[in-house]
Amino acid sequence: MNNFFRLAITIGFIFSLLPSVSCSNADTETINEKISSQLLAQVNLRKEQISDPTSDRLELMRNMGMRVENLETQRIFIHLSQELNQSQVEELEAMNIILYLDSWIPPVGAHPTGFILADMPVDKLGGLAEKDYVVRLDTADRQLEPNGGSQPQVE
């Protein structure tokens, strides 16, 4: 299958999954605005693979650079206007979200938000997005491979 055709199928599949996140007791449109479309697609792929495993979906996930060793967990960036306080840390940890506190990057220059790296159970996406101190959620689950092309020659 040529790469263009495979990419078209992948994009169509991803967009067919986008509206399936559920949030409780909050304005769904506002919550969904906090979640990047790529994160939403990856979480939905994980959920589908857990409930109905297929080798094609697993291959798609790998081709997208997703880690597939633990489907129940998604690596994310949590964007915040300020560093988490202790009660917020405890609240997120109670949701079984693993925070990498030493990864905090504060807001700088033209970037109004900072961010922290975390591992989140896939079923907690909606609940995390409902938190008023969370500005945005994005995927940090991208495995990059070195380019197989030739390296520039140093003379």
pLDDT of residue 32: 78
Residues of the chain predicted below pLDDT 70 = 1-30, 143-155
Nearest to residue 20, comparing CAs of 43, 49, 38?
43
Phi, psi angles (nearest 5°) of residue 126: -60, -45
pLDDT of residue 23: 47
Report pTM: 0.76
pLDDT of residue 150: 54
- What is the rounded distance in angstroms from the CA atom of residue 79 to the CA atom of residue 29? 18
The pLDDT tens digits for 81-123 are 999 999 999 999 999 999 999 999 999 988 899 999 999 999 9
